[in-house]
Amino acid sequence: MTGPTRLAERFGTPSYLYDLDRVAAARDDLFATLPDGIEVFYAAKANPHPELLRELRSGGARGCRAEISSVGELYAVLQAGFPGAEILYTGPGKTTEELTEALTRGVRLFSTESPGDLARVGEAARALGLTADCLLRVNNATGAAATSIRMTGVPSQFGFDSETLPGLAAELREVPGTRIAGLHFFPLSNAKDEASLIAEFRHTIATAAALQQALGVTFRLVDIGGGFAAPYAVQGERPVYDELRDALAGTLDEHFPGWRSGAPRIACESGRYLVADSGTLLTSVVNVKDSRDTRYLVLDAGINTFGGMSGLGRILPVSVEPHESLGADGTPAHLAGPLCTPGDLLGRGVPLPGLAPGALLTVPNAGAYGPTASLLMFLGRPAPAEIVVRGDDLVSVSRIEHIRTYEHGQAL
């Protein structure tokens, strides 16, 4: 029995429930949405749970590679079976120590953000007698007109400014310990619709082709980014992209005629689309409180468990599904977590039937940006249990633990 009520009784709340069948379905859907031969890097930051990682890698030629941005993520993906050759290391603050560790563990592909970053990758590689394949991340001066979340065209810690990149070509081609493998774009997250996604990809591909000319380098890999959307903590379905496959293939044929035979390889990236709908958050009502004209439902899950990034001032439009109703008075309630900060709110004015302490609620589409994107350590509560099922079969139950380690206890 893997229903939420049974699992909550058995393993307690707050807890996460992930279904590997849904991870596999999302992975298969994404590959089916893309032209054959396009690679997919899974952004481990969306959810680095080992069983989810393993599921995303499986699928043979239609399995994901891994995109990571820390040594912690490096160990997670290695343990899940991704060899170094399937890993892309990205991020604006790569230190020599972590680069050395990644290279030692077999990672050869790095996204670089600036001349200084490229030089540091080269130094780390050279010290080990290696050459690192480097993508130049591009902060495009322009975007497709239609898109919503704009991450490029403005000053940023991410990427080389596209307008000045060609002028750096000679310098970048000669950085010891590195070889320019191609470009990396990530202009868009959670695209509002298919038209925006296609428009942004088209724009990215045209920019990549122009930069290949300007840089005088034959690209071996172009990572055109992502933007595949998924509902987050609200009811809804992953979008279906009917037109993307043909649109992408056509645009690639136009700008990179050799791409079908891997010259260059084309990759894209995804986090939320692949894992969001595999996850459900299970939380119990601890207390019901009326204050002035507002009802508060105090839950055992707060920003330490979910949506921690909302602790930075962004309230999610969380929706919850009650699993029992004790009289339906329909009073909208603020969903508060258990933490001693007024910022611990998961939702405002959420319509709910009358609920008593002990009632179970579930938050749908919570598989991406869950525990590891939350304020896990704040207020010292245990991390939520993470329950993994495959359909009706229980696969594992685990919990992240933080342990303080002392290095110089005696010497102090």
Ligand X SMILES: *Cc1c(COP(=O)(O)O)cnc(C)c1O
Per-residue mark of binding to ligand X, 64-103 (x: CB under 6 A): ---x----------------------x-------------
Tokens of 261: 């035979």
Query: Rounded to the nearest whole angstrom, what is the least distance from the CB of residue 153 to ligand X in the complex?
Result: 16
Nearer to ligand X, 288 or 309 (CB): 309
Query: Rounded to the nearest whole angstrom, what is the least distance from the CB of residue 254 to ligand X in the complex?
Result: 25
Can you give the three-state secondary structure of 21-77, one letter per residue?
Answer: HHHHHHHHHHHHHCCCCCEEEEEHHHCCCHHHHHHHHCCHHHCCEEEECCHHHHHHH
Concatenating the DSSP letter of every residue in 385-404 gives EEEEEETTEEEEEEE-----
Nearer to ligand X, 51 or 269 (CB): 269
Nearer to ligand X, 90 or 280 (CB): 90
Q: Facing residues of 162 across strands?
A: none
Query: Rounded to the nearest whole angstrom, what is the least distance from the CB of residue 42 to ligand X in the complex?
Result: 8
Round to whole Å and give the CA distance between 126 and 106: 14
Give me the amino acid identity at 225. G
Nearer to ligand X, 90 or 284 (CB): 90
Binder of ligand X out of 48, 159, 187, 226 (CB under 6 A): 226
Nearer to ligand X, 26 or 361 (CB): 26
Nearest to 224 by CA among 168, 263, 257, 265: 265
Q: Would you count residue 249 as binding ligand X (CB under 6 A)?
A: no
Per-residue mark of binding to ligand X, 264-303 (x: CB under 6 A): -----xxxxx------------------------------
Residues 171-190 that bind ligand X (CB under 6 A): 186, 189-190
Nearer to ligand X, 152 or 190 (CB): 190
82 contacts 66 by C-beta, under 8 angstroms = yes
CA 171 to mean position of chain CA atoms: 33
Residue with the shortest CB distance to ligand X: 271
The residue with tokens 């380098």 is: 217
Peptide bond into 231 cis (omega under 30): no
Tokens of 197: 């996604």
Q: Are strands 332-336 and 294-299 parallel, antiparallel or unpaired?
A: parallel
Q: Would you count residue 45 as binding ligand X (CB under 6 A)?
A: yes
Q: Would you count residue 204 as binding ligand X (CB under 6 A)?
A: no
Nearer to ligand X, 18 or 337 (CB): 18
247 contacts 201 by C-beta, under 8 angstroms = yes
Q: Would you count residue 46 as binding ligand X (CB under 6 A)?
A: yes
Query: Rounded to the nearest whole angstrom, what is the least distance from the CB of residue 355 to ligand X in the complex?
Result: 32
Nearer to ligand X, 120 or 272 (CB): 272
Round to whole Å and give the CA distance between 130 and 176: 10
Query: Rounded to the nearest whole angstrom, what is the least distance from the CB of residue 217 to ligand X in the complex?
Result: 21
Number of residues that bind ligand X (CB under 6 A): 16
Query: Rounded to the nearest whole angstrom, what is the least distance from the CB of residue 50 to ligand X in the complex?
Result: 18
Determine if residue 155 is left, alpha or beta; phi over 0 gives left, psi from -120 to 50 gives alpha, anything else beta: beta
Burial 251-266, CB ≥16 within 10 A → b, else e:
bbeebbeebeeeebbb
The residue with tokens 């994404």 is: 30
Per-residue mark of binding to ligand X, 351-380 (x: CB under 6 A): -----------------x------------
Residues lying near ligand X in the complex (CB under 6 A) are found at 43, 45-46, 67, 90, 186, 189-190, 226, 228, 269-273, 368
